[in-house]
Amino acid sequence: MQATVGDRLHIHSRAVGIVDRTGEIIEVHGQDGEPPYLVRFDDGHESLVFPGPDSTVEHPGERG
């Protein structure tokens, strides 16, 4: 997984009744765009994230 500042991280829910989480990547701490990422989630919460296999990165040019 690779990302740059400004990309969006989408964490897909793995359980029924729990909503997906999305947020903007505001810092990239790994080398060559690799995790961990500092993410500002849509609810305003910021967290250092090590994304798992249930996560995807949405690059600005890919958004519809």
Residue 19 lies in a domain: yes
- pLDDT above 70: residue 63: no
pLDDT score at 28 = 97
Which range of residues forms the domain containing residue 14? Answer: 8-62
pTM of the full structure: 0.85
Mean pLDDT over 29-52 rounds to 96
Quote the number of domains for the chain.
1
Contact 49, 37 (CB under 8 A): yes
How does residue 60 score in pLDDT terms, banded at 50, 70 and 90? confident
pLDDT for the residue numbered 7? 97
In a domain, 25, yes or no: yes
Chain-centre distance for alpha carbon 43: 13
Task: Let me know if residue 46 belongs to a domain.
Answer: yes
- When pLDDT is cut at 50, 70 and 90, the band that residue 30 belongs to is very high
47 in a structural domain: yes
